[in-house]
């Protein structure tokens, strides 16, 4: 029987009702005890990294989770992380760079309704997560939620209330779990040993362009981060009515790493299509996210900046495919 380590971080899946709404209040051990079906699937141990609403999860918590996996990696066959849904996609992306090429599954799951709710999805999601983690064919960082298995670099929460809250963006779901059966659409790459990163440079920001956004705000944000993700309009580009271009040019010359992407949910960016994007692409030292999610681009830039600020080295790392995070370059 497989041995799986459960790592609790809080979230709705561990929530209790308070006078101020739902708050995490159930420990990782208590949570597992509420789903007795898991005991017939595998042997489990539980540890608690934190017990937070995922709104309060930061990149430092991603690092803590990765450290917990690393410390226990040789002792278990897989890992299940229970997490709040609001920032789960960011954590999944972060872990995908902190723990690369893992031959063991590192599964993240949560719930839209807490255990005490009449329509809770806690039992289903936890059971599916452990079942997937016990499969010999499972590997790498994966979100398992409402029967879907999604690559950690491709997840995004697209629904606030529906049980099927997560979609796989610009990439197919890896698999589905139904009644303790796994239907695989893409087989996980099985590596020999994992690659653990030593940490992240968390001084990376993200800004969403809106019509008429002041270049003063833009300038402030650029100057206070080592790297910046810019979510532009459509296929991508910079408005010509303000000084964005020169601000980015100056920032890049000062060693800042800038990534252009799109705020459109699907199909990615292509800066070459229109003049506002083409000028940026051909004239500035910037990176383009293409089909990457913003969550993955943010986490990947944190990982890169921990290793280098050299543009050419960063460019090579950014465009290197890690767990199917970028396919169209």
Nearest to 82 by CA among 27, 148, 38: 27
Q: Which residue has the tokens 């009449």?
A: 118
H/E element holding 314?
helix 311-318
What does the alpha-carbon distance between residue 54 and residue 88 come to, in Å, rounded to a whole number? 7
Q: Which listed residue (9, 12, 82, 87) is catalytic?
A: 12
Phi/psi for 132 (5° steps) reads -65, -40
Distant-in-sequence, close-in-space partners of 265: CB < 8 Å, separation ≥ 6: 156, 158, 169
Say whether 55 is catalytic: no
DSSP assignment of 129-192, as one string? HHHHHT-TT--EEEEEETTEEEETTTEEE--SSSS--EEE-SS--SEEEETTEEEESSPPP--S
| Sign of the alpha-carbon torsion through 73, 79, 81, 82 | negative
What does the alpha-carbon distance between residue 153 and residue 129 come to, in Å, rounded to a whole number? 17
Distant-in-sequence, close-in-space partners of 9: CB < 8 Å, separation ≥ 6: 48, 49, 50, 51, 52, 54, 57, 61, 65, 81, 82, 83, 84, 91
Q: What does the radius of gyration of the chain's CA atoms come to, in whole angstroms?
A: 20
- Cα 236 from chain centre: 22
Phi/psi for 39 (5° steps) reads -65, -25
User: Looking at the annotation, which residues are catalytic?
Assistant: 12
């Amino acid at each position: 029987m497989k041995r799986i380590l459960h790592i609790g971080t809080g979230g709705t899946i561990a929530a209790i009702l308070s006078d101020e709404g739902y708050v995490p209040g159930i420990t990782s051990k208590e949570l597992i005890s509420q789903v007795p079906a898991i005991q017939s699937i595998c042997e489990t141990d539980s540890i608690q990294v934190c017990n937070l609403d995922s709104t309060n999860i930061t990149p430092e918590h991603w690092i803590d989770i990765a450290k917990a996996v690393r410390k226990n990696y040789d002792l278990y066959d897989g890992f299940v992380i229970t997490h709040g849904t609001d920032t789960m996609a960011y954590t999944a992306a972060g872990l995908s760079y902190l723990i690369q090429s893992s031959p063991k599954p590192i599964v993240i799951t949560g719930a839209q309704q807490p255990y005490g709710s009449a329509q809770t999805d806690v039992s289903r999601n936890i059971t599916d997560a452990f079942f997937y983690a016990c499969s010999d064919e499972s590997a790498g960082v994966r979100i398992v939620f409402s029967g879907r298995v999604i690559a950690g670099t491709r997840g995004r929460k697209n629904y606030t209330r529906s049980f099927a809250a997560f979609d796989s963006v610009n990439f197919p779901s890896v698999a589905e779990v139904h009644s303790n059966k796994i239907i695989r659409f893409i087989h996980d790459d099985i590596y020999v040993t994992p690659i653990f990163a030593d940490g992240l440079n968390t001084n990376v920001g993200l800004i969403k362009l809106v019509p008429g956004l002041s270049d003063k705000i833009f300038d402030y944000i650029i100057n206070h981060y080592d790297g910046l993700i810019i979510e532009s309009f459509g296929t991508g580009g910079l408005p010509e009515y303000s000084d964005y271009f020169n601000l980015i040019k100056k920032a890049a010359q000062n060693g800042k790493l800038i990534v252009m992407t799109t705020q459109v949910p699907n199909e990615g960016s292509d800066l070459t299509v229109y003049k506002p994007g083409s000028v940026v692409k051909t004239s500035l030292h910037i990176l383009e996210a293409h089909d990457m999610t913003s969550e993955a681009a943010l986490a990947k830039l944190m990982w890169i900046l921990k290793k280098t600020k050299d543009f050419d080295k960063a460019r090579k790392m950014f465009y290197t495919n890690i767990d199917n995070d970028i396919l169209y370059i």
